[in-house]
Structure 1
């Protein structure tokens, strides 16, 4: 492919496939919905929602405080909405009858939405430009080597047999260290963006820990009888090897003590809670407990779900996912790449519905070695 395809075209294709797509808002298609909120009342409450269709990396728009929530399925364009009012049917009808005032409100909403989309797209375009530069350096160097080899073999008359199919080489993400993060801050990078990198790196580390346990069944089986605190201490040991002791356990935060907290430059970069699976009711309690630890500035949390040896582990993970999908503070279910290893959800922050928290569900399976006695 490198020998036949122009490098620019190949790099553009990679960026289009892998990078976030620009946000596109269908302003002309704005519509109004009035869903009913409560039943069994003499005067049921309804919402007045202004709805728009958003295509592209719409989650970049959802964190800017302009919209109230979303309904998104996979990679399809999503419906985002702003709750303009919450009242009785009669009051909503009166508000909609005042067309001049409603029109002014819609115009103001669309103006704020355009500003938010422009700011989101500015970040997305910078991200795409950075990715293109990095990919160009890698692919360009590779293309030059391939073409040099082909030119040499042609000159020598040596036929080169092509492979019957493409060879896929998995990419390993580079680990983030505290020294690298501090250097990035000194160079002018924004701290909130780096804190997001920390959260992703910790999440990847926990997923690697899970993979190791699944491969080393005999070692993992020794943890089956341990409690949450003991396994959490194993995780803290692994995390602190990379983050120089910055990860702590049983730390007071919000309305309780969280199992895992990594604080960087006075930011709660990662808040995690470890729980064994004891059914949907206990799991929902664990979600509420984790949300209770957050303060309004926090944006990344994780629920690390330990699953002891079961006949159908996937059913347990699906049940946990269903509990989160039905949570009253849910904004969006993010389509997972590996649903048995990680699932992500966007929820309202406690006390501020315009702030969005990303919760990662990280299942950790503890298989029991059939050769051990328990």
Structure 2
């Protein structure tokens, strides 16, 4: 069996790395399986050097389609055209896509039109918010997928409601957690740790990137003011995108405890998260990692596609109203934040289950 693995952005490689390892392991035991790793180039990321792939212990992609830039439609078209040529030049039995970026959707469509079966890892998750490009990508991908690998029973139910057959749904867990648990011993202290003399559980990590939070300038300023004013005397570590940093600078957002730093590598960022008092974010993936590491997580969004991080993890959905910050911080500092419970199948063995299933497909 030949499998083409597709990644379009840095987090996709975190999800794919354990699948690469599971394929390599199966192949070493004489199983008839191999892979070709494709980077669509959807997101240019200067931190994705050879060192990045070394850290994840995976080979560099066999091909980079370099289909970044442009509008959503232009990017989708570029990915589809280049991926079609990739599949013509390198025939495969299955295209495996992960997550919910534009590449996930575009490559699934391309494969199906070429009559190649598609497997979707992280299938069935839903936010219900059609203003998010990711939600559209999820809906379209799952409408044309053959094999659905899911992270939760709720995702299974979402798929059943749309008419997906039970024998197409495989509840396997979360490959992002496979990577987290494998790499946890390798977390790397970032320079900012010593530079700011940080201490365990005595700082807060922040990330903000969604347009709903960073593009409305008055709301962004109010959010930042509320976070600063209610975080007691703790340093706030904010690895910030240059675009967001420029907006904050223009708004005059600054404080001696607010430290805006360059974006960090995966191993450095999770070193900070693991030791933080709490995380304030609008990212979906970080809520998963914080939950597994039992770090309080406040999510500045009105919805989440990962409700298990709230019901079983350490995540609380605050919404985007800045007034929600104060009561959440009060709860944190009073020591009343919920603890992580065991999330079913988030045990570090998801990728092994996926490959075992694929090898046994008739």
Normalized against structure 1, the TM-score is what? Answer: 0.22
Q: Return the structure number with greater strand share.
A: 1
